[in-house]
Amino acid sequence: MSALSLHASGVTLAYGGTPVVTGLDLQVRAGEVLVVVGPSGCGKSTLLRAFAGLLPVEAGSVRAGDTPITGPSRDRALVFQDDALLPWRSARRNVELALAMRGVPRARRRAEALRWLDRVGLDGTADRLPRELSGGMRQRVQLARTLAAQPRAILMDEPFGALDAQTRATMQRLLADVLAGAPATVVFVTHDVDEALLLGDRIVVLGPAGVAAGFRRDERPGLRDLILAELGVAVLKEEMA
């Protein structure tokens, strides 16, 4: 399975007729990790929902590769802060579910689920229920389950927002590691500019008028300050809008 490019062209997104995002143009290249930052309420989650096929566009188009996005697909996984694991299934059996949905024969699921759990550092806890795991461990299971489904695009909405600083830093490094070996395009939403700089090949600042600025990582010295400045301007514009 190859990574999937994602495209938003002249996109307007709205809830109950009230526009949230207007005329947005954004191209995500196949295989890149694009991080989206922006003021609270500017429509970051809404954009992910459109790419996930959960929210139809009011105007413009969203595409995955050449195909218009008209609904959810197993090719595009959405990952939230809440781990959304099934509470009555062990970590291993949560991962096995993703394998079953991918059509992996029953006889191979157990070993493959254990390999994915091992990959996210969870060997030895495969038989525990979600409530017997810490928040960071549950996020690891969620990551294993997402990767096991082999999506071609992963849409991540502040997945580490609920974790303490130390666990969050560990998860960021782990994610950077596993993504390096995964053939998937990633759109990652965060409030944390340092997280954006660690994970993103490219970082865009979303503002009330669409993409306010875009940066390649390592593009120039002082990138962090530049992003913070753009973010500050976007927040002011959002407040004045």
Ligand X SMILES: Nc1ncnc2c1ncn2[C@@H]1O[C@H](COP(=O)(O)OP(=O)(O)OP(=O)(O)O)[C@@H](O)[C@H]1O
Identified binder of ligand X from the candidate list 7, 33, 45, 78, rule CB under 6 A: 45
CB of 78 to ligand X, least distance (A): 13
End-to-end CA distance of the chain: 43
By beta-carbon proximity to ligand X, the closer residue of 44 and 109 is: 44
| 42 touching ligand X, by CB under 6 A | yes
| 239 touching ligand X, by CB under 6 A | no
| 40 touching ligand X, by CB under 6 A | yes
DSSP assignment string, 194-221? HHHHHH-SEEEEEETTEEEEEEETTSST
By beta-carbon proximity to ligand X, the closer residue of 42 and 79 is: 42
DSSP assignment string, 126-152? TTS-GGGS-HHHHHHHHHHHHHHT--S
By beta-carbon proximity to ligand X, the closer residue of 31 and 38 is: 38
Strands 185-189 and 33-37: parallel
CB of 211 to ligand X, least distance (A): 13
Q: Of the ranges 34-42, 107-115, 211-219, 230-238, which one interacts with ligand X (CB under 6 A)?
A: 34-42
Q: Decide if 149 contacts 72 (C-beta within 8 A).
A: no
Q: Decide if 139 contacts 171 (C-beta within 8 A).
A: yes
Hey, which residues between 55 and 114 contact ligand X (CB under 6 A)? none
Identified binder of ligand X from the candidate list 10, 15, 27, 72, rule CB under 6 A: 15
